[in-house]
Structure 1
Amino acid sequence: MTDVAPQNNFASKKTLLMMVGVFVIPVIMAKLALDNDWFNKAATNKGQLLTPTINMDAVLADTQPKWRLLYVIPAQCDNSCENALFSINQVWLALGKESDRTEALVITTDQSDSAALNALSEYPHVATLNSAKLPQLDSNSVYIVDTQNNAMLFYHMKDDRKDAVMESRNMLADIRKLLKLSRIG
């Protein structure tokens, strides 16, 4: 009978060590993987994330809270400018029943290209807003602005129409995802 007790003691210690190993080792490995960047962190957005976001309250303070596709017309409107105007209009139209929660908005300044301003008549669903107090924005990019007036994503528009259409698909995917997740706007 004395031989049975040491074997049971050894078996219970072995079981305890195995249980600790099964639960502790994965936690340690996960911590090491996070600390040492052993994997690619997932991102589901297709646009470029702005960090930090750009506060647009100076321009949009008196407007109704909506998700916005925002573009600033530059002093010289080239193919990328024309593609941006076309893209924000098409994305807004593609939103369908969700379009009432969004707005395609073009910001104009005193320096904005007059030919581009005249071309806006081709896009009746694109709203315009004239503002002299603009934050620093890239003139070849379309921005997604949240309901609290923070520009958070941007899409660099290309001169080629096919590339612009592909970027429009990215915009549409991101704005749909944001609208699905948001109850505001």
Structure 2
Amino acid sequence: MNKTKFLSIFLPLCLLPLLLAKLALHFGWFEGGTVSKGEWLSEEIFVLPALEAHEKVWRLAVVPAEQCKQQCEQALHTVQQLFIGLGRKQVQVQPVLLADGSAEAVLQQFPVFQRQTPAPADAVAIQNYIVIVDVQGLVLLRYPLPDADHAPADIARDIRTDLLKLMNYDRIRV
């Protein structure tokens, strides 16, 4: 086989995957961004104070709309079970209840953080959700509170998957 014949076969074979990838992106055949189980927020919402430089803790916050009722209690129980299931990674996670002044912690080991006053206008986007908050106090992902449509075990599994990925790829204070 001579050099020209080799190049006439080799180049199209190299360019074909690139052309197919471009066509897939152009026509929308590829759906990107479906790796995480939770819903990413479109705006930045800071709900908790930033941590000190030596602390490297992710926070799982339950954000009830008003006082903690049965659905909120189920969410707190789900987060508690998820926290226990983290095992040795518990030192990197802190479960919290983000509530206004009238709410009380249902489970004693949950620290209660007061909502910022005045609350950010877009904080309504995280009410009645379980959220993952980074060390700077920024809400990253949100998950619906467990109810008839969303089983607690499924939500806990989704949160655990995303939280472990975030902790593995965290490079903020390394």
TM-score range normalised by the length of the shorter chain: 0.7 to 0.9
Gaps of 5+ in 1: 1-7
Residues 55-91 of structure 1, C-alpha deviations (whole Å, 9 max, x = no match)? 33xx414665520101224324333211111122221
- The structure-2 alpha-carbon separation of the partners of 1:16 and 1:184, relative to structure 1 and needing over 3 Å to count, comes to closer
Instruction: Calculate the TM-score normalised by the size of structure 1.
Output: 0.76
Residues 104-135 of structure 1, C-alpha deviations (whole Å, 9 max, x = no match)? 0112213x44xxx1x52xx2331111234333
- The structure-2 alpha-carbon separation of the partners of 1:126 and 1:183, relative to structure 1 and needing over 3 Å to count, comes to farther
Larger Rg: 1
2:40 match: secondary structure: strand
Q: Distance in 2 between matches of 1:26 and 1:61?
A: 45
Q: Distance in 2 between matches of 1:26 and 1:53?
A: 37
Corresponding position: 1:164 with 2:120: no
Choose the corresponding residue for 2:66, options 50, 58, 75: 75
- 8 Å CA contact 1:83–1:161 kept in 2: the answer is no
Residue equivalent to 1:66: 57
Instruction: Calculate the TM-score normalised by the size of structure 2.
Output: 0.80
CA RMSD of aligned residues (A): 2.6
2:41 match: secondary structure: strand
Gaps of 5+ in 2: none
Corresponding position: 1:128 with 2:112: yes
2:96 match: secondary structure: strand
Q: How does 1:14-33 map to 2 (within 5 A)?
A: 14-33=5-24
Q: Distance in 1 between matches of 2:158 and 2:4?
A: 56
- 8 Å CA contact 1:80–1:160 kept in 2: the answer is no
- How many residues were matched structurally? 167
* Larger helix proportion of the pair: 1
- 8 Å CA contact 1:67–1:145 kept in 2: the answer is yes
Quote the sequence identity (%).
27
